[in-house]
């Protein structure tokens, strides 16, 4: 793909848009970096495709043919359908913002359709496997306090449906633990999550064993040297436990959050309530668990009745 450096005006506009996204949407550094890369790639393509780094009005010159050429070039570089859809979404958001500021017509950009892709379903653990993971987690450490810490983190992921970043983002200000946790999730959205007795007990056991003083400004879960515990460590613990239990590679820390939602739904949980517990901005994100639950039910049915579909019909059926 031929790319060129976008104009200084366009780069300044991109920087201003990113600043606005960070301020208005409370987007994380990772999200901002993804936006900068996605839109930057598009602007670089335009500069090369249209012959030189034009000014801000270059977006108004884009045709549907140009958009098809860009998407074809991205696919030619090996970008998958899901990633291209995400990149197109970022491009449209930036273009819409710039068009509103400058009064441009960007119909061709907004009319571009994202490629269809099959949404991958979450891969939850069974309830039994989740319990085994929690039981084996503390055995991966040489010291009792770090084992209690790992068990507490993993219990929060499964018992409360927290993201790993949310669990590791807890601080001394969240103590003492009560019946609910106030969690600040993606986009700065706050939610209240019920704290199960098992999760509260696991955190309490860790706090009793932790050799470091717990102050309001310090993170709740501490590394071996007293600093903040890393996500990579919990991922490593899950990897070790997964191998010991013979679980698939999809048994990651995030799979525990999927398991929390799937098991709640299977037990008759309301979809709206699960959405609030997970902190999803849209119900569409939560609805994926209905597909997971249906898929699991069909798997159980097939195992219980392996020849049901092959059974010949009797006369009169």
Tell me if residue 289 is catalytic: yes
Catalytic residue among 186, 191, 231, 296: 186
Catalytic residue among 87, 200, 242, 257: 257
Tell me if residue 68 is catalytic: no
Tell me if residue 163 is catalytic: yes
Catalytic residue among 22, 49, 254, 296: 254
Catalytic residue among 21, 87, 149, 163: 163
> Other CB atoms closer than 10 Å to residue 87's CB: what's the count?
22
Q: pLDDT by residue for the chain (317 residues), tens digit each?
A: 567 788 888 899 999 999 988 877 666 677 888 899 999 999 989 888 887 666 788 888 889 999 999 999 998 888 888 888 889 999 999 999 999 988 888 899 999 888 776 555 557 788 889 999 999 999 999 899 999 999 999 999 988 888 899 999 999 998 988 888 888 877 777 888 888 899 999 999 999 999 999 998 899 999 999 999 999 999 999 999 999 999 888 888 988 888 888 877 766 666 666 676 666 555 555 555 555 555 554 454 455 555 544 444 444 44
Is 0.75 surpassed by the pTM of this model?
no
Tell me if residue 263 is catalytic: no
Tell me if residue 116 is catalytic: no
Tell me if residue 280 is catalytic: yes
């Amino acid at each position: 793909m031929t790319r060129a450096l976008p104009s200084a005006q366009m780069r300044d506009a991109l920087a201003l848009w990113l600043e606005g996204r960070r301020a208005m949407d409370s987007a994380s550094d990772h999200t901002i970096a993804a936006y900068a890369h996605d839109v930057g790639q598009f602007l670089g393509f335009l500069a090369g495709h249209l012959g030189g780094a034009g000014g801000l009005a270059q977006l108004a010159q884009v045709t549907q043919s140009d958009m098809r050429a860009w998407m074809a070039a991205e696919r030619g570089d090996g970008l998958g359908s899901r990633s291209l859809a995400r990149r197109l979404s970022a491009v449209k958001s930036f273009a819409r913002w710039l068009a509103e500021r400058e009064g441009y017509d960007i119909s061709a950009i907004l009319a571009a359709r994202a490629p269809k892709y099959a949404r991958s379903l979450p891969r939850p653990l069974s309830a039994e496997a989740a319990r085994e993971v929690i039981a084996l987690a503390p055995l991966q450490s040489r010291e009792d306090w770090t084992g209690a810490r790992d068990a507490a983190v993993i219990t929060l992921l499964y018992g409360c449906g927290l993201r790993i970043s949310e669990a590791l983002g807890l601080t001394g200000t969240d103590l003492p633990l009560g019946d609910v946790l106030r969690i600040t999730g993606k986009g700065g959205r706050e939610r209240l999550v019920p704290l199960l007795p098992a999760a509260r007990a696991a955190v309490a056991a860790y706090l009793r064993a932790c050799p470091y003083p717990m102050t309001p400004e310090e993170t709740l879960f501490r590394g071996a040297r007293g600093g903040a515990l890393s996500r990579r460590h919990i991922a490593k613990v899950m990897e070790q436990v997964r191998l010991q239990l013979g679980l698939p590679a999809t048994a990651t820390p995030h799979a525990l959050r999927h398991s929390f939602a799937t098991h709640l739904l299977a037990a008759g949980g309301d979809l709206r309530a699960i959405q609030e517990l997970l902190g999803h901005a849209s119900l569409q994100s939560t609805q994926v668990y209905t597909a997971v639950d249906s898929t699991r039910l069909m798997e159980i049915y097939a195992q219980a009745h392996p020849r049901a579909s092959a059974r010949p019909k009797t006369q009169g059926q």
